[in-house]
Structures are given as C-alpha cells and as structure tokens.
A and B are shown apart, each in its own frame.
Chain A
Amino acid sequence: MENGYWLLALIPGLPLLGAAAVAAARNRWSKPALAGTACAMVGLAFIATVVALTRYLGLDGAGTLQAALWSWGFEGVGLGLLGDAVSLWFALVVTGVGLLIHIYAANYMADDPGYGRFFAELNYFIFAMSLLVLADGFLGMLVGWANVGLASYLLIGFWNQRPAAAAASRKAFWVNTVGEVGLILAMALVWNAYGSLRFADVLPQAGSAAPTTLNAIALLLLVGAVAKSAQLPLHVWLPDAMQGPTPVSALIHAATMVTAGVYLAVRAFPIFEAAPVGLPAVAAVGAASALFGAVVAVGQNDIKRVLAFSTMSQVGYMILGAGVGAYSAALFHFMTHAFFKALLFLGAGIVIHHFHGEQDIRRMGGLGRQLPFAYWTFLIGTLALIGLPPLSGFFSKDEIVVELLVTGHPVLWVLAVAAAGLTAFYMTRLFCLVFTGQAPQAAGAKGRAAREAAAAREPEATHGRVDHGHHAHHHHGVHPLQAVPVVLLAVLSAVAGVLWIPGVTAVPEHFLGRVFSQYHTAAHAAAVAPEQAKTLTMAVLLVVAALAMILGVRLYGPGRQGAGPVLPAAAVLANGFYFDDLYRAAFVRPWRALAAHVGQVIDPHVVDGAVNGMARLAGTLAAGLGRLHGGYVRRYALALLAGTAVIVLYFVML
C-alpha cells in the first residue's frame, strides 16, 4: 500500500487542465496549438499512467497506489484515487488509445468550425473516463460516470445544428440516466450495508450483507453497467450515438466509455459473486447482448451502425466473461477490442471521407484498389474482430469462450459461438461490400441521387464542410496524422494477442489476477478439463468463423450482383427488432401523452384553476360583503348601535 501517490492525480488532472485551456482559447489559438495542447495533455497522462504502472509493478503485488484527494471529514466518503492492476489497465487503454484518436482527429476534424470545442470536449472525456476508472470508491466512480455521460452527450451532439444529432445525444443522456439512477440506488444500499463507499472497505467484506440486499445491490449495479455499456435492453442509444464525429465513435462508443460497465462488473466482482443472482444475471445480459448485437449487425447497412452493434456484441462478450468469473479474460478482451474497434472506426472514418460522406455500405465498393492503405488496415481490424489467429481478437475472445465451457455453462458457450459466427459473417459482408467489387458510379443520375440522399443524411456533407472537398483532391493519400494512429492500432490489433498465448504467456492473468485473487482464492470447479475445453473451443470457433466467412464472401464477395442478396427478415434486422418502436410505444408516447395531458388539462385547469379560483373566491366574497358597505353613514351608526347592543346584552345575560 502506498498512500499519497500524487502522480495518479495527473492522469485525470492533465486532460481536465487541457480541456479548460483549449475551451478558453478555442477562438484565439491556431488549430495546431489547440490540437497540440489537447494531444500533449493526453500524452502526458499516458506517460503518467505508465510511470504509475511501473511503480505499481514495483510494489510486487503487495498493495495498491492511493492518493486521497478530498475528504468530507468522515470515514468512507471522499474522493480518492486508487491505482491497482484493474484501474491502471483501464487507464492505460483510455489514455493510450485516447491519445491515438486525438492525433487522428487533429487532421480528421481539420476543417470543422468547432475545432477547439471538439478538442476541449475530447479532453474532458478523457478526464471523466480516467476519473471513473481510477476512483477509489463508488462515489468518485459515480462522479466520473456522470461526467462521462455528459462528455458523451456533448460529443454525440457535436454537430448540434443537426436535429438527428441533437436527438441522438438526448437519447443517450436519458438512457444513461436510467443507469445512473440504478447506480445511485445501489450506492445507497452499499452505504447502508457496509457503512462505506470505498472499494477497499466494501469489497473485502462484500459477503457480510444479507442475500436480499446483495441481490438488490448487484442488480442495481447491473442496471448501471447495462445502460453505460449499451447492453440489452438499454442498448438503444448506441447506434444513434453514431451521429457523432467518427473519432468520437471510435474513442467513446467503441474503445472506452461503453466498457465502463465491464469495469463496474469487474471492479465490484466480490458483490456480484456474493449475491445469489449476481453472476448469472451478468452472464445472461452479456450473452443476450453478444448474440443480439451480432444478429442485428448482420442487417445494418450504415457502416458505423454495423460497427456500433458489433461493439454492443463484443462488450457483451466482456460482460459475459465477467459473469462467469473470467475477469482477466474479460479485461484482456476489453484491451484488444479497444485496439481493433478503434482501428475499424478510424478506418471507417477514412472510408466515409473517401465516399464523400456516404455511410451506406450498399453504395460503396471497390475501395481496395483505390485505397490500399485503408484496405489493409481495415482487413487487420476485421480479422482481429472475427478472431482469426494470430490476431489479438482470437486470443482474447477465445479465453472468454473457453472459460464458459470450463465453468460449466454449455448454453452460454453455444450462444457465444453462434455470436462469433455471426460476427464473422457481418464483418465479411461489411468488408466485401466496401472494399471489393465495383466502385460506385460517380456520374449519372443514379449516382447523383445517391449522393444527394447521402448528403441529406451525413453531417459532413450537409454542412458543406470542406473535408471531403479537401480530401477529394488527394483521394489516394491518407494524411500522416491519420495514418500513424491507424497503423499503430493495426499493429496493436495484430500483435496484442502475444500477451496471452495459451500455454506460453499469460500477462493479463498474472497482472490482473493479483486483484482478483486478493478476495477469493477458491478456484472454479472445472466442469470440463481446461485442456479439452480449449482445444474444442478453438476448433469450433475457427470452423464456425471460417464457414461464416466463406458464406459471406460467396454472398457479398467481388462476384455479387449490386449490393448482394437481401437477407430474410432484413427489415426486422435493420430496425434492430423494433426496440426503438417498442420503447416509443411503451415509454415515449405514454410519457408525451401524460405531458400533453399535464400541459393541456392539469396545468390550465388544476394548477391555474386553483390560483384563479382563489382570486375568484376573493372577488365573490368582496362583491358580497361590499353590498353591506352602502355608503349611508346612518346605516353604519345603526350597525354600531346594534353591535353595541349585542355586546351589552351578552354581558348582561352573563
């Protein structure tokens, strides 16, 4: 245990400083200065994370780094930072991938009038996210959690003149608020049950609470995790969040923010393990989301929405891993997913720019010949996501799926394998439609109509932003500031698997395992021998992925007609099983009706009625009493006499 390790404060502190500086100077500094400041702050935060990591490793598993920042004067509540394996693991990815995306955005957003605002908000997000993962208790985590939600809101709605973006940002905020309410209620129960909100106080004695309380805490925490991580049934905000600029999609809605739920599930794992329904609920949500996201992704036609549902599916894998106690595997998949999903999104940004803001993959094609750079990097990301060896996704997804079998969850294992097959299919479809076949006709009425339709949808084009114009002049080049992060992410996506090669290395297991072994040492009773499970899983996953890819190439490969065959139930898939319509019918419309009722009936009649009624009552009373006030002095005198007589009589009678 090392207290007062103030370096930790730099990790959220520097990006916050950067956000403030860039926001203040956004209209005064030049664009390179703005982007440079933002990148430098995240870069320094990354370096601070690396230094903290070295220091933590120097502790040799004998404790954690801590820095108490603020206390309200009584135990258990306060703002402090905690550096242990899990939080530093997350901070490393948040600042590392965050830095790469900052660099990418420096060029990607080059022609946006809101350049400074963008970088201020991006830095602010890094601050919030690193606070979330570094906080030493539920309170600090909630502060980070809510700030992350705000940053997400700001960035989804970055193009705030567009109604669709504004609606998407509101939607994300509302759904996340559902999760925050769950989190706050869970915190209240935690405080009640354990008398503290600090992880170090709560988690070691997690099992001491009553089972009912534990169930309630676990389920409420899960509500928070589900909302933030876009899991069923609170996933509806994530596809819409793609209205934000592509670097935002890469950073927030793929690599970091949506994994906050994974962080919560892993961080609070003693609670989930102690609660009778904790882990099964987590696993069920994760498996359902993994499969659902993969199924829906098959039917999506917007390149970013495919990746969004894919993110939901992959985060589902992580949650699923956390739900069967495979914490290290879940966090390993978090890291590799951050690499390849950020890579895919940044690649998608290049693709979208190349097609002048077109996002419909059915209207793309033949990019492989025109833009080999995008082709190869996107291919690495695609194969990593599908999970082909030796790319990173293979090792990390494999670890999770194997663990399902080892811990005796054959049903979940089948679901995970099915989702993996679908993943291979939709990524093959996406890749083939974009990069193979004929390039879309640029000229002709059809092409123009398509471009206009795209212009109506796509932010960059509607704004008459020149980034397409700017790129149109050098189609075949990708700016170095965009290329370098993409290449780095491609390398990471390709080789990160070496961290955990079964039987050879197990860096995540050793590094992260020290946190998980801190509280419990009971090994899971292996339902299936690990070696057999491993061989079986690996073989099945590879066969399923290969079959799905072959099918994908057959249907959507270079020889396809037009945009390939239309899938059965395409409308159902494209609409994501009508969750939006369901929520519209179940929540939005009744709520609007209620609001209309309040606005048109209750407010004018009940509220205003009460106020006006008081006035009318006073008026009526005054009119009635005023009649007594006739102006005849002699009548007043008579009234006086009568009154006096009554009083006198009263006393006389007494």
Chain B
Amino acid sequence: MPGMAVQGYLVLSAVLFVIGLVGVLVRRSPLVTLMSIELMWGAAALLFLTFSRLWAAMDGHVFTFMIVAVGAAEAAVGLALIVLIFRSRDKADVDDVRALRG
C-alpha cells in the first residue's frame, strides 16, 4: 500500500475522532453524544484496519470485529438509557442528568 494512501486513512481517522470528540464535549443532546462516541469508535476501528493492512497482520481485523460487537452492545445500552431519560423528563440534556455530583 502506498504511503500516501496510509496518510489519507490516518488523517481521515484523526478527523473522524476529533469530530466525535468535539461532539461529545460541546453537544448536550444525549443522542448526539452517543452518535459522536460511535464516530470515535469508527475512527479507532479505521486506524486498526489501516495498520492491519499495512503490516499484513490479522490482529487489527480481530480488534475491529471486537469494536463492532462492543459498539453494537454499547449502542443498545446507550439507546435504552436515552429512552429512559426521555421518558423521565421533558427534554433530554446531558447536563441535566447530574444526580451523581459530589
């Protein structure tokens, strides 16, 4: 694989990750937060795949499968939580959900 292509993947991964990160940090909707997290998962998975192909090793694939599986489970739990939050209050804002403050 040509070096230029690798750099493209790496940049794409970094961009995706930063978008996800900024989304988590600035957006207050739980749904968007969840989606942003998924973006960061995707960025990580992309990075794994990139290097897996670069070094022709299968480890990165294994991790990617893992990320997909865990991500699916996480999405299920996260969505369930969000549904509950929606049910218990009028609007969904992550800053309202702070019952665990010290």
Contact = CB atoms under 8 A, between A and B. Distances in A.
B24 A634 contact: yes
B83 interface: no
Nearest to A633: B94
Interface of A: 622, 625-634, 637-638, 641
Contact of B98 (A622, A626, A632, A637): A632
A630 B98 contact: yes
Contact of A629 (B94, B95, B101): B101
A121 B26 CA distance: 88
18 contacts: A622-B102, A628-B102, A630-B101, A630-B102, A631-B97, A631-B98, A631-B101, A632-B98, A632-B101, A633-B33, A633-B97, A633-B98, A634-B24, A634-B25, A634-B26, A634-B94, A638-B25, A641-B25
B1 interface: no
Contact of A637 (B24, B28, B97, B99): B24
A625 B99 CA distance: 16
B100 interface: yes
A18 B29 CA distance: 91
B21 interface: yes
Interface residues of B, number: 14
Contacts of A638: 25
Contacts of A627: 102
Given A629-B101, A631-B102, A637-B21, 11 more contacts: A622-B102, A625-B102, A629-B100, A629-B102, A630-B98, A630-B101, A632-B95, A632-B98, A632-B101, A634-B95, A638-B25
Contacts of B102: 622, 625-631
Interface in B20-42: 21, 24-26, 28, 33
Contacts of A632: 94-95, 98, 101
A626 B21 CA distance: 25
Contact of A631 (B21, B24, B33, B100): B100
Contacts of B97: 631, 633
Contacts of B26: 634
B37 to A, nearest CB: 9
Nearest to A627: B102
Interface in B56-81: none
A633 B28 CA distance: 10
Nearest to B24: A637
A42 to B, nearest CB: 77
Contacts of B25: 634, 637-638, 641
Contacts of B94: 632-634
A369 B48 CA distance: 124
A34 B96 CA distance: 86
Contacts of B28: 634
Given A633-B94, A634-B94, A641 B101 contact: no
B15 to A, nearest CB: 16
A630 B95 CA distance: 10
A641 B95 CA distance: 18
Nearest to B28: A634
A623 to B, nearest CB: 8
A637 B102 CA distance: 17
A638 B21 CA distance: 9
Nearest to A626: B102
Nearest to B99: A631
Contacts of A641: 21, 25
Nearest to B101: A631
The 10 closest A-B pairs by CB, nearest first: A631-B98, A626-B102, A631-B101, A629-B102, A637-B24, A633-B94, A630-B101, A631-B100, A634-B25, A632-B95
A504 B85 CA distance: 118
Nearest to B100: A631
A618 to B, nearest CB: 14
Contacts of A634: 24-26, 28, 33, 94-95
A626 B94 CA distance: 19
A622 B102 CA distance: 9
Nearest to B36: A637
A630 to B, nearest CB: 5
A625 B101 CA distance: 11
Most buried by A among B21, B26, B28, B101: B101
Contacts of A631: 97-102
B70 to A, nearest CB: 18
A634 B100 CA distance: 13
A454 B99 CA distance: 79
A383 to B, nearest CB: 93
Nearest to A638: B25
A274 B97 CA distance: 90
Nearest to A630: B101
A644 to B, nearest CB: 10
Contacts of B98: 630-633
Contacts of B21: 637, 641
A314 to B, nearest CB: 80
B13 to A, nearest CB: 16
B23 to A, nearest CB: 10
Contacts of A626: 102
Nearest to B95: A632
B102 to A, nearest CB: 3
A627 B101 CA distance: 8
B83 to A, nearest CB: 17
A632 B24 CA distance: 12
A626 B101 CA distance: 8
A633 B25 CA distance: 9
A629 to B, nearest CB: 3
A89 to B, nearest CB: 83
A634 B95 CA distance: 8
A336 B21 CA distance: 107
Contacts of B95: 632, 634
A625 B21 CA distance: 26
A621 to B, nearest CB: 12
Contacts of B33: 633-634
B66 to A, nearest CB: 21
B101 to A, nearest CB: 3
A387 to B, nearest CB: 91
A564 B102 CA distance: 88
Nearest to B94: A633
A637 B28 CA distance: 13
